[in-house]
Homo-oligomer: A and B are copies of this chain.
Amino acid sequence: MSEHLAVKAGELDAADDLGKLRELFVLDDVVYLDGNSLGALPAHVPGRVEDVVRRQWGELRIRSWTESGWWTAPERIGDRIAPLVGAAPGQIVVGDSTSVNVFKALVGAVRLAGEGRDEILVDATTFPTDGYIAESAARMTGCTLRPLTPAEVPGALSDRTAAVLLNHVDYRTGRLHDLPALTAAVRAAGAVSVWDLCHSAGALPVGLDAHGVDLAVGCTYKYLNGGPGSPAYLYVRSGLQSRFDSPLPGWNSHAEPFGMRPSYEAGDGAVRGRVGTPDILSMLALEASLDVWDGVPVEAVRAKSLALTDFFLECVGAYVPAGRVESVTPAAHAERGSQVALRCDDAGAVMERLIAAGVVGDFRAPDVLRFGFTPLYLGFAEVERAARVLADQLTV
């Protein structure tokens, strides 16, 4: 059995057009299945960061705000991310954390929805920070917050609904939600959609423009490999930008930031999502990291991602004793992101042993083993090995 799957892994790797991208990253003998938490380091990034620190900061100092393009980095890098999530240029700005961007987006969404709409729907199974921030946004805009599952959203929409905050892929189960259908339903109800792309951007096509998404946020340190805590991004559909009213109108979003005017006047376009001075080191490390995407079609990434998770599930099915783990990730491709989550009672202890044995995933309380599959640098032989080592650790 093991031999058959090892042979199959070799065949899959040989046929993998994206396999050559692995050499763009710093990797070792560990099977790294945690790229959905922190992406691996692209090999050329340290040199680029060194240039930013030594030359741009150290030698040019203040001149770099113009000469090294620091000031315009948030929009410029936003435009680099745009094709990966199906957005035309000029709609994405990079900066702040995902949580801060959720706040901007949700408050902005409620203001866009207008008078008389006073309810925010939020995915009850969301990564917690979205729910916490949604609660604050609701409190500060006089809305009520209604947590529910994404499947319940269409039935819950009404003329009271102001905004709906959903995750494209669930952080725990890896379930991919139906963004086109849910976005259309939200729009049909006259409400404003806000999507969290943390667990989908860089792993599968998102199609923000094509599906008429209103607002979206996402992080850049998972499948986009931007580095630890690299800045998040905010997408505001171009048709909404002139009415987007940020709760964090910092000077970077002003129409004339260096005019030092006492009264606020929002700038035009994506810049309206900026707040304060961007964190340049993290931001330019992210910009460098995005080079690995040059010429890589997101569709090819999606195809490999599904092949990786399919193969992992096949190997787990073959190696792990029946009933020892249960996949909480949907089997259907249309409902699966780029991770596999396995429930098992002693998940915390199992993950510790697994990491010690050279297979890195992560544990999500209370009982989930989470494995992320990053198509840019993961091979099928590693997937087979991961399942084999997992089986060993589960039968200790």
- A interface, CB within 8 angstroms of B: 26, 28, 32, 34, 37-38, 40-41, 45-46, 49-50, 53-54, 56-59, 61-65, 70, 96-100, 103, 107, 124, 127-129, 131-133, 135-136, 140-141, 147, 172, 219, 221, 227-232, 246-252, 254, 258-262, 264, 275-283, 285, 360, 362, 364-365
Contact A28 B62 (CB under 8 A): no
Q: In the bound complex, do residue B229 and residue A279 qualify as a contact, i.e. CB atoms below 8 Å apart?
A: yes
How far apart are the CA atoms of A59 and B228 in the complex, in Å?
13
- Extra 6 A-B pairs, beta carbons < 8 Å, given A219-B277, A229-B279: A53-B285, A128-B251, A128-B254, A129-B251, A140-B247, A260-B364
Chain B residues whose C-beta falls within 8 Å of the C-beta of A41 in the assembled complex: 53-54, 57-58, 61
Of all chain B residues, the one with the shortest Cβ separation from A355 is B63
The answer to whether residues A247 and B281 also contact, given A53-B46, A53-B49, A99-B276 and a CB cut-off of 8 A, is no
Q: 7 nearest interchain CB pairs?
A: A97-B276, A99-B250, A99-B276, A228-B280, A129-B251, A41-B58, A279-B282
Docked CA distance A231–B259 (Å): 24
Minimum distance in angstroms from A357 CB to a CB of chain B: 14
Shortest A233–chain B CB gap in Å is 13
Q: 24 A-B residue contacts at CB 8 Å? A: A26-B59, A34-B61, A38-B57, A46-B53, A46-B54, A46-B58, A49-B281, A62-B362, A70-B228, A97-B276, A100-B100, A128-B264, A131-B264, A132-B250, A135-B264, A136-B247, A136-B249, A140-B140, A172-B260, A221-B277, A229-B277, A231-B279, A258-B365, A281-B282
Residues of B within 8 A of A221 (CB): 277
* Interchain CB contact (< 8 A) of A227 among B28, B53, B261: B53
Closest B residue to A28 by CB, please name it.
B59
Residue of B nearest to A256 (CB): B365
Which among A228, A251, A252, A362 has the highest number of chain B CB atoms within 10 Å? A228
Q: Chain B residues with Cβ under 8 A from A40's Cβ?
A: 58, 61
Known A34-B61, A262-B131, A364-B260; contact A248-B98, beta-carbon cutoff 8 A:
no
By a CB distance below 8 angstroms, the chain B residues around A141 are 140
Distance of A64 Cα from B221 Cα, bound (Å): 14
A215 to chain B, nearest CB (A): 17
In angstroms, Cα B139 to Cα A141, docked, is 10
Chain B residues positioned under 8 Å from A97 (CB to CB)? 96, 250, 275-279
Chain B residues contacting A229 (CB-CB under 8 Å) are: 70, 277-281, 283
Complex Cα gap A259–B128 (Å): 9
Given A53-B45, A277-B98, A281-B285, the answer on whether A360 and B62 have CB atoms closer than 8 Å is yes
For A362, the closest partner residue in chain B by CB is B62
Q: A58: which B residues are within 8 A, CB to CB?
A: 26, 40-41, 46
Give the distance in Å from the alpha carbon of A12 to the alpha carbon of B95 in the complex.
Answer: 44
User: Known contacts A103-B248, A254-B128; is A62 also within 8 Å of B46 by CB?
Assistant: no
Q: Which residues of B contact A259 (CB under 8 A)?
A: 365
Q: Of all chain B residues, which has the CB nearest A259?
A: B365
Among the listed B37, B136, B250, which residue makes an inter-chain contact with A100, where contact means beta carbons less than 8 Å apart?
B250
Is the beta-carbon distance between B277 and A280 smaller than 8 angstroms? no
